[in-house]
Amino acid sequence: MVHGKQTRVMLLNDMEKLERTLFRLEQGYELQFRLGPTLQGKHVRVFINYPAPGEKFNRHKFRALEWVNPTGREDDSDKFCKLELKIAGSYQYYFGCGNDEKAGGGYIVVDPILRVGADNHVLPLDCISIQTYLAKCLGPLDEWPDRLRVAKESGYNMIHLTPLQTLGLSRSCYSLADQLELNPDFSARGKKSTWADMGNLVEKLRKEWNMACITDVVYNHTAANSKWIREHPECGYNLVNSPHLKPAWVLDRAIWHFTCNAADGKYKERGLPDLIQNDQHLNTIRGILWQDVYPKIKLWEFFQVNVEAIVHQFKNLLESGTKAVKGKKEGKSHLKIIQDPEYKRFGSTVDMNTALETFIPHSNSPSAILDCCNWLRKRLEELNAECYKQMHYHQEQAANCIVGNLVYERLANHGPKLGPITRKNPIVTRYFTFPFEEKSLDQDLQLLHKPDKACHFLAHNGWLICWGDSVKLRYGNKPEDCPYLWAHMRKYTELTAKYFLGVRLDNCHSTPLHVAEYFLDVARTVRPDLYVVAELFTGSADLDNVFVTRLGISSLIREAMSAGDSHEEGRLVYRFGGEPVGAFVQPSLRPLVPSIAHAMFLDVTHDNECPIQTRSSFDSLPSAAIVSMASCATGSTRGYDELVPHQAKPSSAGEVNLQTGIIAGKKALNKLHQELASKGFIQVYVDQVDEDIVAVTRHCPSTHQSVVTVSRTAFKNPKYHHYKDNVPPMFIPGKIEEVVFEARTIQRQTGSYQKDEKSINGLPEYTVEIREHIQLKDSSIVKQAEMKAKGRSEFVHEIVFERLTPGSVIAFRVSLDPKSQEMVGLLRGHLIHIMSKLTLADINVLLFRCDAEEQEDGGGCYGIPSWMPLKYGIMSVMADIRPKNDLGHPFCDNLRQGDWLMDYVSNRLVSRGGALGQVGAWLQAMFGYLKHVPRYLVPCYFDAILVGAYTTSLDATFSLMSSFVQSGSTFVKLLSLGSVQMCGVGRFPALPPVDTFIALRGLMLVTGRHLEARNIILAFAGTLRHGLIPNLLGEGICARFNCRDAVWWWLQCIQDYCNMVPSGTDILKCPVSRMYPTDDSMPQPAGSVDQPLHDVIHEAMQCHMQGIEFRERNAGPQIDRNMRDEGFNVEAKVNPDTGFVYGGNRFNCGTWMDKMGESDRARNKGMPATPRDGSAVEIVGLSKSTVRWLCELHKKGLFPYAALTIYRSGKKLSVSYEDWNRKIQSNFEKMFYVSHDPKDPNEQHPDLVHKRGIYKDSFGASSPWCDYQLRPNFPIAMVVAPELFTVKRAWEALEITEQKLLGPLGMKTLDPDDMVYCGVYDNALDNDNYNTARGFNYHQGPEWLWPVGYFLRAKLYFAKKMGKETYEKTVFLVKNVLSRHYVHLERSSWKGLPELTNENGQYCPFSCESQAWSVATVLEVLHDL
């Protein structure tokens, strides 16, 4: 059972048209529309025709829904628009994007709420047990309560009555003479029953008997003798409004006259008596059709042209000099017949322009014109001959159908054996009405030309065969097309909806959709909670959905009789209702997923033959039991339970009681069906025990009870068919509380069946022997039942059957240990207290430990033998399995087979002690109870336990983070988990400094992890040497200081810390324990030399201004097997003229683009792919940011140094921070901007310029070409030091970067126009290609994710400077780009963003699946928004 507020989320995606997808919802649900990845950031409007509060429903009136942004921030990735669903029906939605009014759409169907009883209690749709009554058999209305009481006493709670209106001459239930008049048969002598009387009866059944009533509506046809159709023939298809029917009418009249002649004995001398008895008679009929009928009516003439008339017209055109008009179509058109819309004989024509184009005289002479006319005549005769040939084919088909019909109706043993040909039983059912005096065929055919007569020749309706008693109705497209018909049927609809809780749409698949739509809208205005049932014969679930979604059909009728064996019958139960047993517990807010139409599963429908005619009488009970166990509406037709051995025909019902047929059994089944539905037994499992025995389990996930029925079907009569004596035992897990009932069909000593001509009667010799609510030991069907251990902790009942004879059913009630449930509830409350003690480092261990991390502690990630090892743990796998209920997944198999995973999860944490050990102990206790439930339930309860623990741990996580995270979007929270994932305590820390400091602002400062950020900053401060931060620490022994950018990223982090953390500048006074107090000292133990952080910062700045130049310690292959000797020489200095930091050489790579060649074969070993020596643009930006910040700090008295002291040629010099700041500011754009002016005096290499309006990647590189390469590094400088850039220049450069470098997830690391660009990274490939071998192109094209963050932040900063319109467009771009990261993050089993992708966002197997800086910089963008 569903508890609490239920919310379903519809994700909208561009161009997703879901008109054939069914989305079912219940009243009281909230429906949210959210933007899918293809629409994120776009201006989308959602429209729906669900009425606004206080308004009436109008199918054609759509309103726009308002967006709700729960975070109230610019990051509106969580925004949604919502509907509170309170009104049943079908509603259409669509959404538009930009200029595209309809970028996608579909329908939702809201189920009605049915109420019965004096207290108006709800009758859930799955509780319905319906019984169909043929209303025409019920007699006077006063007698109905006695007759309908059978349904009540048999346990049904809904009655379906076939149409109650005046019937046509045929007395067929569905051929209605007057849709507005109650059938006079329902009136007793001297008292006329009215619709009000009918309404009173229906209301009595609803209030006093707790029974709902529905009836049929028939929109497709009316009785041929309906008085109103004579007065309004335009309401049908006649020869005036549908002239295409004329040839069919002519044939129909001809065959009718053939019938009359045969009936009158006029063909006896030709060997055709009125009684058809053999093939010779059939052949004679064929002969008469071909010799007499077809030649006389000449149907081909309706499609042919008048050759001479057209030739004459053509000749006149030629003689007058008329030429063909050149058409727009290329090539010659072929002459073809144009059908006469009025279907007159020889009324068709041809296109004269085509004739003039085709037959062109070589001169204007009479002979040339005559030749052309003859050519045209010949072609027209050919076309007429083609018509004749086509009609000959149709006549062949007609003859075959006529003969086939005669074989079935007159000769076949399974047919009705109609006897002699008469006017009442003609050769073929008439296809048209003929309300005039019978005359000769020739006289009939004259009426074709008299519209006042021809309008009364109305086409009959039909499906597969013609229904000669009904006229098909012609609605047109709208009420204005046939006002009387729409008005008449509207009254009929309103009348029906007024008195009945629901309707069955008769002949639904043939009723025009727009017609049914209109009248159901009318019905729902009268009765908003209208229950709509239909039976469809489309043969396609997709097509079924079109009807269900457009019409708001509540239940589709399905029939067990369609099953050929018990296996198929069981499959239908599984298909038409319920979740699988052991299905996962779904959250109350979850995606809206497509569903199949709600089923009304009947053992037999009223328009099909009785099962006893095709199966044995013994099968009625077990098949009914299988049907009743379906988790949907179920039902039957009156006569099934009484074992009536024929299709019910009009007559009165005989007397019945609980001993009649299977009524006693059906009462127990209906009672059980309603109990299971009302108490939430929503899960279903069907077990095909053997070829005849079907066990169906219904399970309640909230009470953990199950009911299992075992039915032994008897499709074949046990008298004549041998059924196995040995029935296989059954194993039922859990504790069997009782036998709900056991029943079997038995024969008794009564007279054999004789059909009663006055009333409907069933087989008297069969009844049901039933016992209810007995103990297992008292069962006569079960021989013995033993509790057996199955595995270490699961106990099952082994049931051995003794008298499970064909036609028997037994139902068991099974429960789990109730004490376990009580303890589970207590433990849940304890969990929240435990989780509150966890630190974020603990939560890292709890949720995000990969295999390598676990192995450091002597363990490893759990591996599933038939599948694969888990990434971190379990939640991402379960998140894939849960929504699909994929209980066959290897993961679920592993859980069912043993307790290994449970033990792994708990023991891993218990062994750690502390708060994590307490969580482990809690899980151990929970799993202790789980180990005692039936194994098929283990996956779902295991998932429920872990979801509870996981949700609680997430709450604990976010409570330890910043308000930005706590009140942020789902996207923000997912990214923030990257902070927990990436920051943990390891035994052998080996953090790469550049990556760490690029990630620190996003993962630590933005998320509020200030203490950890402070500790990281200070720890790295202690490693400073030569004025640099090491790129490899090597536990302090083998540290390497050969990267030029790490120190600047570290300094930027200190600045960010000071700016973002309350009292952040206090860090500047924090003591730093120096590992290397001097450049040459050995590693010192902590606490040997301490300095305040501001001194360490000043030292780093002073070293650069003085000039850093040294050779790495232990230079050679022992510390780097690829680097050449020159690469070990490290240099980092400040240019005294420009203030730019510069350094490096062409043999080392001192920035984040640090790929060193490794291939001997390609001769790139020891050569950096991207040395970026000189002044790298981001280092210049970072240094400018630091220098400016230090100036500001000094002015505030927070940094004690105003200047740097250096030595030049033995002289002591002072360089102020202010001076350094000014130099960078005044020189940056001069040296880095690539101007549009070819004569720019600042341009040192104008011959190398290939893109203008950009910023160089470096300045002063040893290979000048590298300066001019377009790369994604200058946006970093824009973010940290925007003051260096002119707004318009910056914006143009960013636009070029977007166009050239922006990929789906990352930034291309090199301009695709560059000759060495290669966007696919393959580190394993070793070939002769210098540019790609052994991944040499690591930073030469592959799309790295972290630079996207800086690019988008730069765009946002400068867009604001460009004005409101530009800023709004940029926000759209940012959201659109980030939406792709959101999707990747949600789908990633690593719950992270990758290091890089190959070109155009393609997966790169050599990329790290989850990288800190990728997550961090995206989080920073959202923070900036």
Catalytic residues: 506, 509, 607
d(CA 1273, CA 1291): 15
| Helices and strands in the chain: count of H runs, count of E runs | 38, 51
Which tokens sit at 1252?
């203008």
d(CA 1052, CA 1029): 13
Question: How far, CA to CA in Å, does 690 sit from each of 567, 569, 724, 861?
Answer: 9, 13, 10, 42
d(CA 133, CA 116): 20
Strands 1343-1344 and 1307-1308: antiparallel
d(CA 907, CA 898): 15
d(CA 938, CA 56): 49
d(CA 1080, CA 183): 111
Q: Which of 726, 734, 716 is nearest to 615 (CA)?
A: 716
Greatest Cα-to-Cα distance within the chain, rounded to the nearest angstrom:
142
**DSSP assignment, residue 587?**
P
Q: Which of 1304, 1239, 1294 is nearest to 1270 (CA)?
A: 1294
d(CA 1271, CA 89): 57
Strands 17-18 and 337-338: unpaired
Which tokens sit at 1076?
């290397």
Q: Which of 705, 707, 747, 710 is nearest to 728 (CA)?
A: 710
Q: Is 709 exposed, middle or buried (0-12, 13-18, 19+ CB in 10 A)?
A: buried
d(CA 694, CA 563): 13
The position carrying tokens 């640090």 is: 1154
d(CA 1403, CA 1125): 36
Long-range contacts made by residues 775-781, C-beta under 8 angstroms, separation at least 24? Answer: 775/738, 775/739, 776/736, 776/738, 776/739, 776/812, 778/739, 779/739, 779/742, 779/810, 780/742, 781/742, 781/744, 781/808, 781/810
Query: Residues 614, 667: contact at Cβ < 8 Å?
Result: no
1175 bridge partner residues: 1259
Strands 808-815 and 735-747: antiparallel
Question: Letter for the amino acid at 148?
Answer: L
Query: Residues 1326, 1143: contact at Cβ < 8 Å?
Result: no
Give residue 1020's region: left, alpha or beta (phi > 0; psi -120 to 50). alpha
Which tokens sit at 43?
């201006």
Q: Which of 890, 998, 893, 895 is nearest to 946 (CA)?
A: 895
The position carrying tokens 């006093």 is: 208
d(CA 815, CA 797): 12
1344 bridge partner residues: 1307, 1396
Q: Which residues contact 432 (CB under 8 A, 6 or more apart)?
A: 245, 248, 249, 252, 253, 457, 458, 459, 460
d(CA 674, CA 128): 7
